[in-house]
Structure 1
Amino acid sequence: MELVCALLLLMLGTSAAAPQDLSAKMFTFPQETDTDHVSLRLKQRELGALSVCMRVFTDLRRPYALFLLNTNTSFVIRNHPDLSQYSFKYGSEQPIFNYNNYIMNAWQSVCGTWDAVSGLAQIWIDGKYSSRKFLSNSPITGNTMSVILGQSSDPALGKGHPRNRDSSFVGMLTDLHVWDYVLDPYGAQNYTLYRRFVHGNVLNWRQLEFEIHGRILLE
């Protein structure tokens, strides 16, 4: 029965009519594409801080987008494994974070934080934190906010918003949580080590509303 449901999701796409508990489940992105993605609608219209945590599994050696927040100005977290770097992009700023613990074909915990008061952003890989770097003092605002997983821009925006299959995510993703504040070191460590932690108050993997577009499996 689970296989049949997965195939139906794959062929038809799906819109979660109500929040779903995705504990022990994951999204599988099986191919390079400039269209396939998962979209999640946010209720917020302003964010003065942001923390994003997820677990990812991939064998990519090229850059790819991990998390895209669409509103008046896009907020993007990217991995550049070919250069041993992560980057944030918001407005005209794009700080680069160097790291040396990318592991191919293994689950890794990735957390990113940012606060508009200080303007500082930081990345955490498997509980190891980077230096903090300036991103922006401007809060994220917009009448509508949505998150895109799997693409570096929103395919629904159509022409004029360039997309590139060479930056799409291929692999598995699970345990996505988003908060409207900066996680402290204990929170990030607890998430990494599967300890008890406060679930995201913006997006919660155990109460997630989502839409699947294209050949993406929930399994």
Structure 2
Amino acid sequence: MGRMCKLHTDSDLRPDLNPVPGAILNTVPLYHIMEFQILFESEHHWSITNVFELIKLGHRMKTFIFFALVMCVYQPVSAGYGFAGKSLIFSTKTGNSYVRLYPSRWPPLSAFTLCLKAASEASHGYSLFSYATSNHHNELLIWQENNEEISLELGSTVVRFSLPKMNALLRHICVTWESENGLITFWVNGERSLYKVGSRGGIVRAGGSVILGQEQDSVGGGFDINQSFVGEITDVNMWDHVLSANEIKAISQDCQSAEGNIIDWTTVSYTAIGNVHVKDNNDCSPLGTVG
């Protein structure tokens, strides 16, 4: 676990996931950078002089960044690859704690299956999965209302389903969509909801930001503390096609390994920002793969 000092503007750069203490986490010349991070191990004591020396490595760095760095608020941050056998614990409402996933590929999607396990006792509405692009901040959103409704949002299309309210028991949730006919369905613990139709002929665009724990109102940001997720989430996997009923039923069982070809929970790279706990859950031993 380290600490992060982050300056926000309009660029979105993926960090180096094998940083050295004090490294600036990107590989492009600093004069091209509009957002950057400094990550260092908590046991190292870095002075302002150290920070300034790092900045001097950049080319044509703007003077204001020197002073902005001094004013940064530091937050816990960790980065790595894969969550095999692990859960994310969001213990309290915040406006700045989240996990960002970096899928190795995300082409334009004309179909998908998105699955996860989650539990929450929160009484407010919150995001279970937020994917934002420059075209729409709700390019793909799974939203849990504060009642017994859960919705899939695809851009301006919102399709709601009446399902049992979330509680303290982990449940396996999948949602499928295909553009050709617009069919959408949710699965909860291997049981299918009715079909509904939405975003027929649509597409889920590439080049966006995947966030767990917050709902994005802009790419990578625009968080609202009153929409933050409080609870546990794990086993987030996504495919670029609709899985069969038998496949979804199989992966809803605790000990079936599901490795999505868009998001694979066991290998996806990530950054965890703020008050997020990554904990072993010992829920499942891999038995095979599907999809």
Aligned-pair distance for 1:182?
0.9
Structure possessing the higher relative contact order (Cα contacts under 8 Å, 6 or more residues apart): 1
Aligned-pair distance for 1:155?
6.7
Percent pairwise identity:
25
Matched residue, 1:145 = 208
Aligned-pair distance for 1:178?
0.7
Q: What is the distance in 2 between the residues matched to 1:41 and 1:212?
A: 11
Quick check: 1:32 aligned with 2:93?
A: yes
1:95 to 159, 165, 169: 159
1:60 to 102, 118, 122: 122
2:142 to 55, 77, 82: 77
Instruction: Please list the CA deviations of residues 8-67 of structure 1 after superposition, one character each: whole Å capped at 9, or x if unmatched.
Output: 7xx631122xx33x2221111111112211111232231111111111121112211100
1:89–1:135 contact (8 Å) kept in structure 2: no
2:270 to 190, 202, 210: 210
Instruction: Please list the CA deviations of residues 146-198 of structure 1 after superposition, one character each: whole Å capped at 9, or x if unmatched.
Output: 2110111167655xx4x321211001111111111112111111111135455
Query: Segments of 4+ in structure 1 off by > 3 A?
Result: 154-158, 195-198
1:190–1:197 contact (8 Å) kept in structure 2: no
What 5-or-longer segments of structure 1 have no aligned partner? 1-7
Instruction: Please list the CA deviations of residues 93-135 of structure 1 after superposition, one character each: whole Å capped at 9, or x if unmatched.
Output: 1011012x33521111111111111112111111121111122
Distance 1:125 1:34, change over 3 A: same
The TM-score normalised by the length of structure 1 is 0.84
The TM-score normalised by the length of structure 2 is 0.64
What is the letter of the counterpart of residue 52 of structure 1?
L
Quick check: 1:186 aligned with 2:278?
A: no
Distance 1:182 1:197, change over 3 A: farther
Query: Mapping of 1:37-52 within 5 angstroms?
Result: 37-42=98-103, 43-52=105-114
Distance 1:205 1:147, change over 3 A: same
Counterpart of 2:247 in 1: which secondary structure?
helix
Distance 1:154 1:29, change over 3 A: farther
**Which one is further off, 175-184 or 39-48?**
39-48
Distance 1:25 1:196, change over 3 A: closer
What is the letter of the counterpart of residue 68 of structure 1?
S
1:56–1:172 contact (8 Å) kept in structure 2: yes
2:183 to 120, 123, 128: 120
Counterpart of 1:187 in 2: which secondary structure?
helix
Distance 1:31 1:196, change over 3 A: closer
What is the letter of the counterpart of residue 266 of structure 2?
R
Matched residue, 1:133 = 196
What 5-or-longer segments of structure 2 have no aligned partner? 1-41, 43-74, 280-291
Paired residues in the alignment total 203
1:56–1:107 contact (8 Å) kept in structure 2: yes
Matched residue, 1:107 = 170
What is the letter of the counterpart of residue 46 of structure 1?
P
Q: Cα RMSD over matched residues? A: 2.2
Distance 1:14 1:153, change over 3 A: same
Counterpart of 1:140 in 2: which secondary structure?
coil
Counterpart of 2:216 in 1: which secondary structure?
coil
Counterpart of 2:248 in 1: which secondary structure?
helix
2:173–2:189 contact (8 Å) kept in structure 1: yes
Quick check: 1:12 aligned with 2:76?
A: yes
